Structure 1
Amino acid sequence: MSRPPRDGLVMSFRGDGSYAAEAPRRELPPSAVLRAEYGLVPFAGRDAELERLLAWLRAPDRAAVRLVHGPGGHGKSRLAMRLAALARDEGWHAGALRPGTPVRDVVRLAAAGVAVLVVVDDAEADPDRVLALLRAVAEATGGAAVRVLLLARTDGAWLRVLAEDADDRVAALLRAPSLRLTGLPDPRREYDRAAVAFAAHLGRPRPASPAAGSWESPLEAHAAALADVLGDVPGAGPGDPLLRVLQHERRYWRRAAPPGLGPAHLEAVVAALTLYGGDASAVLAALPAFAGEPAALVHRALAWAAELFPPAAEGGGGAPHAPRPDRLGEDHVAATLDAVLDDGVAAILTEGQVRRALLVIGRLLPRHPAATRAVAVLARAHPRTVLLEGARLLRGLARPEPMAGLLAAALEAHADGATALEVARSLWPNDARTAPLHAAAVAVAVGPLRGGTGPEQLTLAGLHLEAAVGLASLGRAREAVAVAESIVAYLRGLPQEYLVVRRLLARALTVACDCLALAGLDRPAAEAGEEAVGLRRQVLAELAGATWPGHVWVRGMAEQELAHSLARASYPLRRAAGETRVLGETRAADETRAADETRAADETRAADETRAADETRAAALLDEAIALDGAHRFAEAAAQLPPSGAQAREQRAVNPLLDEALRFDAGRWSIAVPADARR
């Protein structure tokens, strides 16, 4: 195994435990000096976070996972690289997991007795690969320690999906609290440190410290320092420091370009690499800038880009990396989008290129709202891919609202019922940021409830309930109540001897409980919640003697459902108890003014007894929910599941659509309850 290189170079994890390093070029483009791996600005300012990560690294656990999240440019990569350098000093093999590296290689290295720290950057962009890595780590037994450090811009729904994976071992790995990187405590000090480093590296005078700076991240402070060291481009205003650096970057591209490549070619190739990824030769040939040009010019442009932005991984066919920092490439795409995306280009994109384009566009939209047309262009050529992949990518966006709105428009224009159903199932109806897209998907997917207990009808009932959850999350409580109560009435009209009907009715009553509570109707909410609890208990009692395949798993789900209903019912019951007390005191005051002290005392006593009974029931429900939630038996269930999920469905005679209707996820089905309901 090769000796790990020192700090200041980007470490890339390989399966054999060796490392690859990117060394700085002799003549760097302006953007390169901003990159964390070159270490031109010494590590500083994150000492507390580093100490917490070192404690996590040195803990006795065999395997552990930690998330560091924050907006782009807040120092996640720089912090991870410093941790990796210190880990290597302590004998660990540490580095970033390159694209294409089999995740099992991490486990194989640990099994050979080598302690491994693997860093996964942009974890939210590929949650499936992260999940595969975590499952491999969770399944491994014995061997040396493994640490997985996830870097992401957000800790949103993508992480929630991983944490609620059916494998409890994966969920256990994610129990450590995430580490959020916030803004700059001293922006001027960060600017000064960067200005000193850049001026020394470039051999230029150090600029004077600005009187004040409104930079929100280390990257912005560093970019401002670099732009001041380089000096302004003629005709350019002060503006965004990243845009000022981008102007210098474009000048560098022109100086470094080979003969035959003009500014339009250069800007188009960099934008295409950023938007579609490195393997974009076919796309380049289709760009307007290269129309009618010989193939040799396309190859020359790719060779120039590979020299400027070295390939991200060995074995990648020499495909160049996109410009970094990512923010710089995204801003360049926003400025040149019309040159690299039209209907003709969209038609030849692969599914992977569409997925990457959606991610880049989703990230830049909050800063560049004029880029909205891009989603419509992609959707015309690849409607299903755009809708399904776009909805999935929303989980990893720090600000998903702009992309969610565009996807909703695309869905109404292009989606069929089946695609809309998949979109609805991929979203969390209680996330207010994406609830409008969920509502649009449900509107396209659902049909009228015609009665009957068929799987399709019950699936539609489940979707209507999700619509109620979404409406409540948007603050439209009265509309949510109407939808939830209509589904309750529909399910009451079905034969109650079917277990599936009662399970779904209990869910509908729990949703109605939440919606009524948000509408301020606490007593009806408490009644709906307690009815749901009663149904859940009946279901559990019937499952106690079940012996059919998969019954243990279903019983575990039923226990979790009961815990959820218990907890939700306790909130309006507690608030109703408070209202009863106030009402009793008011009545007592009125009766006292009428000089009927005896009746006033009776009213107060009755109110106190009702309040005490409500509070006792609420506390009992909540205590039972907590006990059940800690005791539900997923590990036991997993051990008793038949080898084939399809076989279990066949033996239980349950249609896969019905499995979707009955799928339960406490986070997915919970509606935020106001704080005063928890008193």
Structure 2
Amino acid sequence: MTRWWGPHLAVEQSVTGSVVFGDNIQISGVGGNVTISLDRPPYRVVPADDAPLPLTVERARAQPSRLLLARHQVVPFTGREHTLDTLAAWVGGEEPVAALLLHAAGGQGKTRLAAQVSAQCAAAGWAVWQVTHTPSPVAGSAAVSTVELAGGAVLVLVDYADRWPASALLGLLTQLGNLHARAGTRVRVLMLARSDGYWWPALAERADSDLGIEVDQRALPALAADSADDRTGLFVAAAARFATALDLESANWPVPDLTGDGFGQVLAVHMAALATVDATRHGEAPPTQVATVSAYLLRRELAYWSQLHTRTELSMHSPPAVMHRTVVAATLTGGQPRDAARHALVDAGVAASGTAADQIIDDHTTCYPPADTRTVFEPLHPDRLGEDLIALSTPGHGNHGVVDLERDWTPAAIAGLLTTSALPPVWAAAAFTVLVETARRWPHVAIDVLYPLIREHPQLAITAGGATLTRLTGIPGIDPGVLEILEPLLPAGRHIDLDIATAAITGALTHHRLTHTSDPAEQARLHATHAFRVANAGWQKEAMASAKEAVSIYRRLAKTSPDPYLTNLAVSLNYLGNSMSALGWPAHALVATEEAVGIRRRLAETNPDAHLPHLAILLTNLGGDLSVLGRREQALGPAEEAVGIYRRLAKTNPDAYLPDFALSLSNLGVCLSVLGRQEQALAPTEEAAGIRRRLAQTNPHVHLPDLATSLDNFGICLSALGRQEQALAPTEEAAGIRRRLAETNPDAYLPDLAASLNNLGACLGDVGQWEQSLAPIEEAAGIRRRLAETNPDAHLSHLAMLSRNLGRHLSEAGRGEQALAPAEEAARIYRRLAETNPDAYLSAFLGSLITLCSSLMKLGQRGQALARAMEADSLRRRLAETNPDTDLPELAQSLSNLRVCLMRLDEPEQALASAEEATGIWRRLAQGNPDAHLPNLAMSLWTYAATCVNVQANLPQALDSILEALDLYGSLRQRQPRTFAARLFVAHQTLADVLDGLGRTDEALDVRRQLDEISARMQK
């Protein structure tokens, strides 16, 4: 983070030719208190350093395992020709931003391959960055990373991607996508992981659909399929390089049998080569099995500790037995600040006190210098060797060729490291992750260490995070009982970092349980639970399939046993409706929701305490489904009923029902607003915002999204009531909240962010800031465009609306030529939508045609404008005759706009017909809701009269209209003097014009004389 304050700074500071990851805050010329809230990015970005780190012969001979570390580059990269060709094509692709997951088991050579790709990119002038996940920044760490950007292109390397929280990876991808959008930088993100399990499909879907980032994955193939080098060739080449590093003469090193599965990884072959060379140097028989190779190299570590402990100069105080425990602990915890390392050694039973721990830490640092100098406790690398240390130190591995490594203290030390403190320690997530990875290859670690830990301390697994939980489910032959212990601790609702893991655990348990039960009720329950869980992970198609299974079974059961299966059927129908709605199928969702409402209503009649809350939820969903389908008058009834139920419930139990009460109030406000009843909508909308603000103050993680929704709705109501200046503050606040939410969970919040940005743009336009309004609307349109590519059913209508708004705002900002393309796109999309769902989209299609007509006229394309106007006029007739459920306020406004277009195109008869029809609609609406629609009726009466004057037709009717408009404006002026005084003045001018047209010039002169007097008084 970069900060500078105060007006005394004469020279501005800036970052040039670099990218800042974090907060860059400049404050100047301020007074009073300033509060800055900072959210540190959970990762650190640094320039990749691929230069080899020198290693002396002495250090190599003392600690041979260091020769395996990629940083020393002892064995040159070789082979992998096919994968390198694929990666080169990916790097050179046309996509502006692309991400690729490269996955394989540990030791397959992912890191070395990534280093080769980064070296090739750097040679071509690219910037290359290394990104590291930092769940708990250490003292002194930078809250911001500033890295150079060269050549307009960057390769970003992300290791251990499957261990990152989903929110952190999505946040990084969001920032990199923004980097391209703002600077035009070409971005390639190469992610390395051991698996592409549950975590990857969900992340890839979000990155693709929500962020517009091209994503792909590739399993790193077996060596024989990926290069001309075979295992023997790799062994011989590596042995020669290791011999040189150890200052040995060249020799024909004996090659063991490398055909087994255990030698399918590059690292396993290199470890065998190193063990062969070093054992020969010591006059020992080289190990030939995978486990004995690891054991040999680990015994060399023990010998290194003994050597340091016994030598006279710079001797290591800690004996080898202590160092053994310390290296096991450090391999589990990973690099930690010194204070945390002290506590770890005490908890693991290695040190009696923090003071004693300091000497051990210093000794360990001598053996394993940390890569990050701000930490200690560098783990044993490579990862595979560190995991083997834990496994071979733990009794029970059953490998009789391994000796001198098992320690009876290992299980207790691991348990102490994780369970001594009342709360999970800061290293809990890292240690648990290493245990899970070790258990995937070593069954005895799973059975004797990991599973007992989970059974006794299940919260440790939850602390490890979603990525590790997901990997846990993939342990071969995992005991379902272990997952069942974790199940009750999973979040009841949505959770960005645990949704995928929850779905994975539920999926594994559902499969297991379905194969062990023939009870239809239990099968239905399992399907319903699975539908709920996978829906939270964003897998709506899978959710719909499971919900359908649950509905089918419960429907059969309820026929013979209504109690309790009708309740379960209603729940499953709700899940089915929700997934269908999320997939953009509102008509199908409505069928399911209506059936669920009917069931709950009947049940609530006999047992209201049990069923009324659920009925209210379903009524809220029903209102939403009806609104989406354009049946807004019908949506009002369910919305009002839900509010009534929740108001009663919240009075007796506010803790349980206030959130749902606020939701129902918010939905009622929306229903009233879209019906044009803005005055009525304001009260429930404001009440909902107040409740949610109080809830968000105590529990922001749960209630901030709802607060943003209410703030948006409140701003819309204020704008519709002519209070645009007041509307700007809540609308800006809503957009700010949703931007932060979308950075951590795009799948859930990007659509909402687009809605807030559109509202913000509309607000800025309403106060005359047309140029400033363009950025939020353009960003919203970009979001919806990406979403619509993968889910058009859910997002195309929103894209059409945004394109229409963008065209209008560009036109108002004086960018007429740019306005044409979005106006055409809006009309094109609405045309397709109206063909399949006229009830919902014909009125919007009419509005888009009028907007397009206006854009064409401003560009002088009169012929095309006239064609669109005539089509709009024909559509208006069709709507009036065949579609009584049309959104009447929007239709009336569109007709008023159509009148303007037709007048400019010298089509007076059609213009007059549009004006007359608009007046008739506003009159009907005002009869039902005068507070909402009398101002619109007055405006329509006035414009009808003005149109009659312009075409010199229907002047007696025009006189009646303008006189009625004057009466309305006179009464409205009593309530809102500022708003309606000016309109009253202009309406009198039209009255004078009508009187002139009727030949009543004396009366017209009197009116104009009065207007002159009013104008003179106003000027004084």
Shorter-chain TM-score category? 0.5 to 0.7
Can you list the C-alpha shifts for 1:428-465, whole angstroms capped at 9, x where unaligned?
Answer: 7885996128978xx9xxxx99xxxxxxxx99994265
Change over 3 Å in CA distance of 1:467–1:89 after alignment to 2? closer
Matched, 1:218 2:266: yes
Matched, 1:97 2:145: no
> CA–CA distance in 2 between the matches of 1:487 and 1:32?
65
The answer (yes or no) to whether the contact 1:342–1:377 under 8 Å persists in 2 is: no
Residue aligning to 2:974: none
> CA–CA distance in 2 between the matches of 1:35 and 1:16?
20
The answer (yes or no) to whether the contact 2:322–2:350 under 8 Å persists in 1 is: yes
Change over 3 Å in CA distance of 1:468–1:236 after alignment to 2? same
Deviation, 1:70, is 0.8
Residue aligning to 1:73: 107
1:342 to 407, 415, 429: 415
> CA–CA distance in 1 between the matches of 2:797 and 2:173?
17
> CA–CA distance in 1 between the matches of 2:489 and 2:107?
39
Change over 3 Å in CA distance of 1:104–1:422 after alignment to 2? closer
Matched, 1:371 2:445: yes
Residue aligning to 2:343: 282
Residue type at the aligned position of 2:168: R
Residue type at the aligned position of 1:119: L
Residue type at the aligned position of 2:255: S
> CA–CA distance in 2 between the matches of 1:20 and 1:42?
13
> CA–CA distance in 2 between the matches of 1:630 and 1:430?
25
> CA–CA distance in 2 between the matches of 1:75 and 1:416?
37
Residue type at the aligned position of 2:199: W
Change over 3 Å in CA distance of 1:163–1:533 after alignment to 2? farther
The answer (yes or no) to whether the contact 2:232–2:258 under 8 Å persists in 1 is: yes
Deviation, 1:71, is 0.7
> CA–CA distance in 1 between the matches of 2:300 and 2:793?
61
Residue aligning to 1:208: 254
Deviation, 1:355, is 1.1
Percent identical pairs in the alignment equals: 25
Residue type at the aligned position of 1:49: T
Change over 3 Å in CA distance of 1:638–1:398 after alignment to 2? farther
Deviation, 1:631, is 4.9
> CA–CA distance in 2 between the matches of 1:326 and 1:285?
24
> CA–CA distance in 2 between the matches of 1:370 and 1:167?
40
The answer (yes or no) to whether the contact 1:227–1:244 under 8 Å persists in 2 is: yes
Deviation, 1:467, is 8.8
Residue type at the aligned position of 1:544: L
How many corresponding residue pairs? Answer: 510
1:150 to 178, 187, 191: 191
Residue aligning to 2:289: 239
> CA–CA distance in 2 between the matches of 1:495 and 1:230?
67
Deviation, 1:51, is 2.1
Change over 3 Å in CA distance of 1:37–1:405 after alignment to 2? farther
Matched, 1:131 2:181: no
The answer (yes or no) to whether the contact 1:387–1:407 under 8 Å persists in 2 is: no
Residue aligning to 1:229: 277
Matched, 1:24 2:54: yes
SS at match of 1:151: strand
Residue aligning to 1:85: 119
> CA–CA distance in 2 between the matches of 1:200 and 1:332?
27
> CA–CA distance in 2 between the matches of 1:369 and 1:495?
40
Residue aligning to 1:652: none
Deviation, 1:263, is 2.1
Residue type at the aligned position of 1:485: I
Change over 3 Å in CA distance of 1:422–1:81 after alignment to 2? closer
> CA–CA distance in 2 between the matches of 1:248 and 1:434?
44
SS at match of 2:183: coil
1:195 to 219, 239, 242: 239
Which range moves more in the overlay, 305-314 or 195-204?
A: 305-314
The answer (yes or no) to whether the contact 1:465–1:484 under 8 Å persists in 2 is: no
The answer (yes or no) to whether the contact 1:359–1:393 under 8 Å persists in 2 is: yes
Change over 3 Å in CA distance of 1:285–1:226 after alignment to 2? same
The answer (yes or no) to whether the contact 1:243–1:328 under 8 Å persists in 2 is: no
Residue aligning to 2:222: 183
> CA–CA distance in 2 between the matches of 1:68 and 1:224?
25
Residue aligning to 2:363: 304
Matched, 1:53 2:87: yes
Residue aligning to 1:435: 508
Deviation, 1:359, is 0.9
Give runs of aligned pairs for residues 235-634 of structure 1, distance below 5 A.
Answer: 238-240=288-290, 241-257=293-309, 258-279=315-336, 280-291=341-352, 295-314=354-373, 317-334=374-391, 335-336=393-394, 337-338=410-411, 340-343=413-416, 346-348=419-421, 350-372=424-446, 373-375=448-450, 378-379=453-454, 382-387=457-462, 389=464, 392-396=467-471, 399-401=474-476, 405=480, 407-408=482-483, 410-411=485-486, 415=488, 426-427=499-500, 435-436=508-509, 462-463=528-529, 465=531, 485-486=553-554, 489=558, 493=566, 503-506=574-577, 543-545=628-630, 629-633=791-795
Residue type at the aligned position of 2:307: R
> CA–CA distance in 2 between the matches of 1:433 and 1:196?
50
> CA–CA distance in 1 between the matches of 2:326 and 2:222?
33
Residue aligning to 1:163: 204
SS at match of 1:42: coil
Q: Which runs of 5+ in 1 are unaligned?
A: 2-12, 450-457, 470-476, 511-529, 561-625, 641-679
SS at match of 2:440: coil
> CA–CA distance in 2 between the matches of 1:495 and 1:420?
18
Residue type at the aligned position of 2:118: A
Residue type at the aligned position of 1:374: V
Deviation, 1:411, is 3.2
Which range moves more in the overlay, 127-136 or 630-639?
A: 630-639
> CA–CA distance in 2 between the matches of 1:174 and 1:95?
19
> CA–CA distance in 1 between the matches of 2:444 and 2:572?
48
Deviation, 1:209, is 2.9
Residue type at the aligned position of 2:458: P
Task: Give the superposed CA RMSD.
Answer: 5.1
Q: Which has the higher helix share?
A: 2
SS at match of 1:56: helix
The answer (yes or no) to whether the contact 1:427–1:434 under 8 Å persists in 2 is: no
> CA–CA distance in 2 between the matches of 1:102 and 1:370?
41
The answer (yes or no) to whether the contact 2:578–2:589 under 8 Å persists in 1 is: yes
Change over 3 Å in CA distance of 1:137–1:627 after alignment to 2? closer
The TM-score, its normalising length taken from structure 1, stands at 0.62
SS at match of 2:196: coil
> CA–CA distance in 1 between the matches of 2:350 and 2:510?
36
> CA–CA distance in 1 between the matches of 2:54 and 2:235?
22
Deviation, 1:43, is 0.9
Deviation, 1:179, is 2.0
> CA–CA distance in 2 between the matches of 1:207 and 1:383?
49
Change over 3 Å in CA distance of 1:635–1:14 after alignment to 2? farther
Q: Which runs of 5+ in 2 are unaligned?
A: 1-14, 16-42, 135-140, 225-229, 310-314, 395-409, 536-544, 582-586, 595-621, 633-669, 672-708, 714-737, 739-746, 752-787, 803-1020
> CA–CA distance in 2 between the matches of 1:103 and 1:115?
24
Change over 3 Å in CA distance of 1:398–1:231 after alignment to 2? farther
The answer (yes or no) to whether the contact 1:376–1:410 under 8 Å persists in 2 is: no
> CA–CA distance in 2 between the matches of 1:60 and 1:167?
16
Residue type at the aligned position of 2:213: L
> CA–CA distance in 2 between the matches of 1:401 and 1:85?
37
The answer (yes or no) to whether the contact 2:428–2:463 under 8 Å persists in 1 is: no
Can you list the C-alpha shifts for 1:190-249, whole angstroms capped at 9, x where unaligned?
Answer: 111111111121123451233654211111111111111111787996432233322222
Change over 3 Å in CA distance of 1:16–1:401 after alignment to 2? closer
The answer (yes or no) to whether the contact 2:527–2:549 under 8 Å persists in 1 is: no
Deviation, 1:381, is 7.0
Deviation, 1:16, is 7.5
The answer (yes or no) to whether the contact 2:510–2:527 under 8 Å persists in 1 is: no
